[in-house]
Structure formats: structure tokens, C-alpha cells
A and B are shown apart, each in its own frame.
Chain A
């Protein structure tokens, strides 16, 4: 059936894969009709998809440095776009984003703008130039452009801090989903998640991760879009929700007026389980100041352009031209999911709060709501809660509480879709969290193995030995991440946002100025990375410990302060020290031109 080169056959291979996955969904649906339990369906979905990723990971095994680090630089534009989209959209995007929009409205939607707008910066400022450079990792660029082990090492430090903050959240998410789907305790489920993650990346490095990420994108986008379209049609809200929900958005506004946002007494709120939230913000009204919105969006955009696991995806394209186009495709595939999240939030909210809909619960008696099957399930899972604060026996808007995750996970069930959809959503969430965790663990392990071990400690190491070191590091970092994730220190979304702030504090300006400002030198870059990271971290610690902050910069946007310090110190120190030597300046000129040889050789 498949003849010739694997790359030439990609559309066919993934076409068959997608068909197979759809067939699997149908088989599960038939199974459900014939009496398969919901638990079996959940296990089948997660086990089947993870097994496929593991097979892809095994088939992509390699012993070549350039295949391991940059997938042999032959990933076609569109497929690299899909892989980047999976790499990018984490458990937070998949499980938590619609929930955030649901509860916080406009102020939260700055994340939608920030997590997409950043790709414009990636495409125009960085990706094509770093591709031309021919580096294996982001610190590889910093180390070669500025010279010296110190700059290389500083870049590895920033990369590790940012990526590690991010990866614990992802392993946490895989653990949460695995524990629900497989019905095992979270502490063990975290390691089940970790083993699945390592199966994809251990043998094939970047090559394995690339081809599993494409497969994971297909699963996660089907799992996200199918329920949105289905619910919209079932509710009669519109055949194509993205273009047809204006009436529903307006109706939510009307209901909000009618119910009003009643403030609960502090004593009442104490009885609500931790982590659950009520609807306290308007759905579509502007409820944040311009600066609060813009600063959050800006921090996320600059963070996007500094996160190494995204940047290194563009090292795998065959050319500079392909790298640019590939950024566009990445954002297109991300757009498909992100533009659906607000629609899911709208449908989910309206179906619960509109008393004229059969699924609506506001205005019903408390006892009636407490007797609903799905309420009992999700209440048991600690994701839903009602309480009769005012004692009138009827459920009011301010007496209903839900966990952010429940918007994605529970809506299919609330809307009365078959359980097979809930199984599909679990598989999608797992795919989203696994693909991001893989990209991040690989980014850290590659930076340490290539930049610290090979470039600094033992430059004479042979390829076989380098790849052994890379794989050992992969496992060690994975276990470290899982161990911290098992402690459950912080929520998923908070730590994801911090990762962006750390990355932009330390890396944004050293990367951008490395291409766009010839005068930038080693001393400046080291100062920029070091002071940026330290001042950003200091600001975070200060605000966390009760500091008031300034200029409206919060613990979610501390990167704005960090990157500002980074910019100033980099410019000042660069100008105070001597300009880069002629060879470096020639190198920058070379980087700015797409044609010709890359700066670093194919094998380095």
C-alpha cells in the first residue's frame, strides 16, 4: 500500500491514520449501544491512542545526531505546522481554556490574543533566521552568535527554568486524565503519563516527537471540534457555531441582567470546595481595563517568541522559506481550536443557565438538581457544587459552582451526548498534554546534552555517546518533572503563564537583538539574560509575598518587568564594551540572507 519514501507518503499515511481513528470512534459508539460500560470505553480510548503513539515513537528510532536533534530537517511545511500546533496546545489550552473564558470572560480572553499574536513575532523576528543559522537548540544559537561558554550556559539556565515550570504542569495534566480514565490514584497515574510521554521521544528524539505530535494533533482537534459542533446542532443554536452564536451570546447577556451577579457572603463561600468557581463576570462585556488586557496579551506574545520548544520546531523544516510558511500553518491549526473555545464556553453556559432549555438548572429546585445523574457524578469528582445559600429552595446563579476543567470534560455529558464523546475528549486531553510535555522535555534534555555536555564538557564525544547522554537526561528530567507534579504544588494554568514570563524575561531580547542588532555582544547578552531572569524572578517572589507591585504588573505579567530590565542592561552593557569582532559581524550578515550555507554544519 505504501511505496517509496516516507516523507512523500505523509498525506497518505496520516489519511489512513485519521480514517482508522474515526473508525475506532464508530466501533466504540457501537460498543456503547451494545452495553460496554463507560469505564471500559474510557480505558479503550486512552490505551488505544497511547499505543499508537508508542508505535510511531518506536518506528522513528534513530542513531543519527541530526535526525535525533532536528528530525533530519525534512519535515514538510504543513505537517510541521500540525506538529507545532500539538506541541503548542497543552493540557491548559485543551482542558482549562474554555473554562477560563467561561468564568472570567473578556479579561481572560487576553490569553487567546496573546497565544496567537506571538506567532507574528516568531515569523517575522526569529524563526527564519534561526533556521538559517542551522542550530540544533536555542542555546546553540546564543552560544555561537555571541561566543563563549558563559552565554551558552546562561541560555541553558533560562531555557531550563522556563521549560521545567511548564512541563510539571503538563505531566500533572496527563496524570489527571490518566487517573480519571484508568481509574487509578493520581500519584501512580502521573508515572503512567510519564512513561507514555517517554515512549514517544526516547528512541527517535525530535524525529519521534515530530511524527507522534502530528498524530496527536489529529486526535485532539477531532476531540475538540466534534463536541462543539454536535452540541450546537443539538441545541438548535446553529449548524456552524462560530458564525451563528450571536443570539446565544446576547441571550446570556439578558439572563445575566435578569439574575444579576449577587455577591456571596464570605462564610457561605467557605463551604464551596476548593478550586470551584461561580459565574461572577459578564460573558461578553468588557470587564478589564485596557492595560490589564494588553499587558497580559503582550507578556504571552513575547513569551511565545522565547519558548524554546516552539522555536526548535522550525529548525526541522527543509529551508528558510519553509520555516516562514510553516509558522503560518502552525497558527492556522492553532486557530481552529482557539476560535472554538469561546463557542464551547457560550454553549456550555447557556445550556446550564437558560431556564427555558431542558438542560437548564438555574431556577429549578435544589433537590431536583441534586438528583440529576451527571450532577452527582461531577459532584463526586469535586468539580461541581450547589448550595442553597438564601434558603429559598431554588437554585440561583450565585449558588452554582463548577471547576474550570468541567466546562470541557462535563459539557458533552450535560448536553446529553453519548459517553463515547467523553472518552474521545479524554483521549484528546491526553494527546494535548503529552505532545507539549514531549516537546518540553526534549528541549531541556537536548539543551543540556548538546550545549552543556557536548559543547562545553566533552567536545570530542562520539555521536553514539552523545545520544546515550541525551536519552539518559530525557528520562532523568522526565522523572524529576513527574515527582514535582505528584506534589501538586500549583495549578495547571498558573504555572503555564509563569513559564512564558520566565522565558521572555531571559531570552526574548538576547534572541531578537542577536539577529537585528549587529552591535549586540557577548557581555551584553550575558547581562541581559542574567539580569532579566533574576529581576523577573525577584518581582514574582516580591508580589507573591504581599508586595504591591507597580504599573499594574501582576504575578502573571512579571515578564514585562524582567524583559525590560533585560533590554536595558543588554543595550547599556553592549555599548560600554567593545563591538563584536569582524567574524561575528560577517556571521550576522550571513544569517540575514536566506540562500547559501547555514552557519553551523549539518553535523555539529
Chain B
């Protein structure tokens, strides 16, 4: 397998993990919205309500930065990263 193919395989792997986490916070938990809302979440808000106000939104922010760092590592590993700028 060429270097490029290996790089793409890892990139695809990262995409799948990222989308899986994304799925949990954007869709998965809202399948059980009514049940989860009975539980008290962070800061004392009802749990589902908290996810729609802050929880899921914050999770997406963290997820994107995490994804960006992981992808950069993959690019560096195969020598495909760009030089210099940030």
C-alpha cells in the first residue's frame, strides 16, 4: 500500500470516529429526550434541556478542535503537513 493510501485510510478512520461522536450528541441522545429529561443534569438543569442549551453545542466545539489536532498528527506522520503558517 502506498504512503498516500495509508494516509487516506487513517484519515477515513478518523472521519468515522468523528462522525460517530457527532451522531451521539446530535441525534443519539435525542432519541431518549423524554426519559433523559427526568434526570438532573449539570448545574441543576433538566438533562435533555441542558444538552440542547449548552451540552451538545459545547461538545461540537471540542470535537472539532480534537479532530483538527488528530488530523494534523496524521498528516505529519506521513509527511503531508504544510510548513510554517498557522
Contacts and interface: CB of A to CB of B under 8 A. Distances in A.
Chain B interface, DSSP helix/strand/loop, else mixed: helix
A286 B56 CA distance: 16
A339 B82 CA distance: 35
Given A106-B48, A589-B4, A285 B67 contact: no
B45 A249 contact: yes
B64 to A, nearest CB: 4
A589 B5 CA distance: 9
A594 B67 contact: no
Nearest to A320: B82
Given A290-B30, A331-B60, A593 B85 contact: no
A120 B15 CA distance: 10
A604 interface: no
B80 A593 contact: yes
Interface in A109-126: 109-110, 112-114, 116-117, 119-121, 123-125
A140 to B, nearest CB: 21
A16 interface: no
Interface stretch (A240-248, A446-454, A497-505, A560-568): A240-248
A538 B50 CA distance: 37
A595 B80 contact: yes
B16 to A, nearest CB: 10
A249 B22 contact: no
Interface string B1-20: 00010011001001100110
Contact of B49 (A106, A298, A325): A106
Contact of B30 (A297, A332, A338): A297
Interface residues of B, number: 47
B4 A117 contact: no
A335 interface: yes
A318 interface: yes
Given A321-B82, A322-B86, A331 B64 contact: yes
A320 B75 CA distance: 11
A294 B30 CA distance: 7
A112 B11 CA distance: 29
A293 interface: yes
Contacts of B8: 592
Interface in A577-604: 589, 592-595
Interface string A293-320: 1100110010000000000000000111
Contacts of A123: 64, 67-68
A285 B14 CA distance: 36
Interface in A321-342: 321-322, 324-325, 327-328, 331-332, 335, 338-339, 342
Given A124-B18, A339-B57, A592-B8, A321 B81 contact: yes
Contacts of B4: 589, 592-593
Interface in B14-71: 14-15, 18-19, 22, 25-27, 30-34, 37, 43-46, 48-49, 51-54, 56-58, 60-61, 63-65, 67-68, 71
Given A249-B46, A294-B30, A116 B82 contact: no
B31 A294 contact: yes
Given A293-B30, A293-B33, A117 B61 contact: no
Central interface residue in B7, B32, B52, B72, by most chain A CB within 10 Å? B52
Contacts of A284: 37, 45-46, 49
B54 A339 contact: yes
A249 B82 contact: no
B82 A319 contact: yes
Contact of A595 (B56, B75, B86): B75
A541 B37 CA distance: 36
B80 A594 contact: yes
B31 to A, nearest CB: 5
A284 B51 CA distance: 11
A19 B14 CA distance: 42
B82 A246 contact: no
A348 to B, nearest CB: 15
A250 B4 CA distance: 55
Interface string A95-136: 000000000001001101110110111011100100000000
A77 interface: yes
Given A243-B43, A244-B43, A593-B7, A117 B31 contact: no
B64 A120 contact: yes
B2 to A, nearest CB: 10
A34 to B, nearest CB: 40
Interface string A191-227: 0000000000000000000000000000000000000
B85 A247 contact: no
A24 B53 CA distance: 32
A338 B26 CA distance: 15
A290 B60 contact: no
Contacts of A335: 57-58, 60-61
A435 to B, nearest CB: 21
A430 B85 CA distance: 34
Given A119-B60, A249-B45, 17 more contacts: A112-B53, A113-B51, A113-B57, A117-B22, A119-B64, A124-B15, A128-B71, A250-B44, A285-B46, A286-B34, A290-B30, A318-B85, A325-B86, A327-B64, A328-B61, A594-B81, A595-B80
Interface of B: 4, 7-8, 11, 14-15, 18-19, 22, 25-27, 30-34, 37, 43-46, 48-49, 51-54, 56-58, 60-61, 63-65, 67-68, 71-72, 75, 79-82, 85-86
8 contacts: A113-B51, A117-B26, A117-B56, A124-B22, A246-B44, A249-B46, A321-B75, A331-B61
Query: Which 3 residue pairs spanning A and B have beta carbons closest together?
Result: A246-B44, A117-B26, A109-B52
